[in-house]
Structure 1
Amino acid sequence: MTKPFSAAPLVWGHGPAVFEMFLEPTCPFSVKSFNKLDELLEKAGPDRITVKLRLQSQPWHMFSGVIVRAILAASCLPDGKEAAKKVMKAVADHREEFEFEKHSAGPNMDTTPAQIIARIEAYAGLKLAAAFSVPELQTEVKWHAKYARQNGIHVSPTFMVNGLIEPKLSSGDAVEDWIAKLPV
């Protein structure tokens, strides 16, 4: 009997304040925000905050859809959200290898989606190809896109606190500034 398809939610912490981060994995500002995830959890405290990562694929980042699907494929692996986080970290640490120069040129012009997946597997130390090809994964990919659109989010990074967009928060803010927006 095969295990049913299941993607782990990209959620850390369990506190009452919900901090949602809408990120595109190759966007330099999203990478900057993603790299603050652990610090945010540590300083706010997992009993005070629940951090939810939402993947915001953007067409000008040419491999965005492939990378988003790879992250969600990782969330289906035994380590679930931690595997997904490992993939996001691998992409963040090697961002230029997953992006086009000026969004339209450079060495990645000759790169295939299969090569992108292999590159991610090598950096993350995970096998993703089988999970990537599961047809049911499309439901998860679409959920992230629909959720962002339903909330009026079109660019990354965007932040929501308790269901409300916080337009003044940015990737350049200190984690303490993010925490200051949480309800007391």
Structure 2
Amino acid sequence: MAFQPSLRPLVLIGPVDAPHTLDIFLDYVCPFSAKIAKVIETSLIPLIKKDYNGKVKVIFRNQVQPWHSSSTLVHEAGLAVARVSPENFWPFSLKLFEQQTDFFDIPSSSRTPVQTREKLVDLAISIPGIGASNKGALLDLLAHKTSPNGGVAVTDELKYTIKFSRQNGIHVSPTVLWDGLVANEVSSSWGVDEWSKFLKEKVSV
């Protein structure tokens, strides 16, 4: 599947020109997305490295779920990290999934959007690969532009990810595409055995 060059850090594993593509649509404040994210890290990525190196790429697809008030804000933070520290996009995503309850509806309701963004930046700089030296750059990317309704510096990337989801009829998180088609059989409960079987059946090169 195609994606704009600025979003290349969202490729979690595999070369950009890998013959097979797994697009995985995740929302940072979705418990089932958090569940499959852990499996991606502990089972899927090691499996691809071992048996399908160069044959499969995995792309993180931001799936904003607007009925959660903080969903836009957490995805903006992920895209800001991808811009400032591309190699730490996935470590930040995993950390955010681990602490997603801090950004659920009720905890978020007592904070302003600016306070939520600051909390997300503090979470990001707690990752050693990002660090406090990048705090200013992250805050700058997440600050409102001079236009009263202009969004932030990563709004264009956010728009792209949302339009991509809408264009492809993605509604729920997580949703997985294999080579551009929805793979409804994939479950957030899958472990290494299920992913092994899936890839063995699907990889044709």
Q: TM-score, normalised by structure 2?
A: 0.76
Asked whether the 8 Å contact 1:87–1:120 carries over to 2, the reply is no
Runs of 4+ in 1 over 4 A off after TM superposition: none
Asked whether the 8 Å contact 1:22–1:55 carries over to 2, the reply is yes
SS at match of 1:111: coil
Residues 52 and 157 (structure 1), Cα distance of their counterparts in 2 relative to 1, 3 Å cut: same
Alignment of 1:151 with 2:154, yes or no, is no
Residues 179 and 150 (structure 1), Cα distance of their counterparts in 2 relative to 1, 3 Å cut: farther
- The counterpart of 1:170, out of the listed 174, 187, 204, is 187
| % identical equivalent positions | 32
Cross-structure match for 2:117: 117
SS at match of 1:18: strand
Cross-structure match for 1:131: 141
> Once the 2 structures are TM-superposed, how far is the Cα of residue 70 of structure 1 from its aligned partner?
0.8
The alignment of Structure 1 onto Structure 2 pairs a total of residues equal to: 173
Query: Which of the pair is proportionally richer in helix?
Result: 2
Asked whether the 8 Å contact 1:86–1:124 carries over to 2, the reply is no
- The counterpart of 2:32, out of the listed 23, 29, 32, is 29
Cross-structure match for 2:67: 60
> Once the 2 structures are TM-superposed, how far is the Cα of residue 148 of structure 1 from its aligned partner?
1.0
Cross-structure match for 1:94: 99
> Once the 2 structures are TM-superposed, how far is the Cα of residue 179 of structure 1 from its aligned partner?
4.0
Output the amino acid matched with 1:166: A
Asked whether the 8 Å contact 2:77–2:121 carries over to 1, the reply is no
Cross-structure match for 2:3: none
Asked whether the 8 Å contact 1:57–1:68 carries over to 2, the reply is yes
Output the amino acid matched with 1:137: V
Output the amino acid matched with 2:23: E
Q: Which runs of 5+ in 2 are unaligned?
A: 1-5, 146-151
1:108-144 Cα offsets, whole Å, 9 max, x none, are 3211122222222222215221122374522110111
Output the amino acid matched with 2:122: A
> Once the 2 structures are TM-superposed, how far is the Cα of residue 150 of structure 1 from its aligned partner?
1.2
Cross-structure match for 1:3: none
Cross-structure match for 1:103: none
Instruction: Spell out the pairing of 1:49-88 with structure 2 (5 A cutoff).
Output: 49-77=56-84, 79-80=85-86, 82-88=87-93
Distance in structure 2 (CA, Å) of the matches to 1:97 and 1:58: 16
1:39-70 Cα offsets, whole Å, 9 max, x none, are 31211224232000000000222200011111
- With 111-120 and 146-155 compared, the bigger mean Cα shift is at 111-120
Distance in structure 1 (CA, Å) of the matches to 2:113 and 2:91: 19
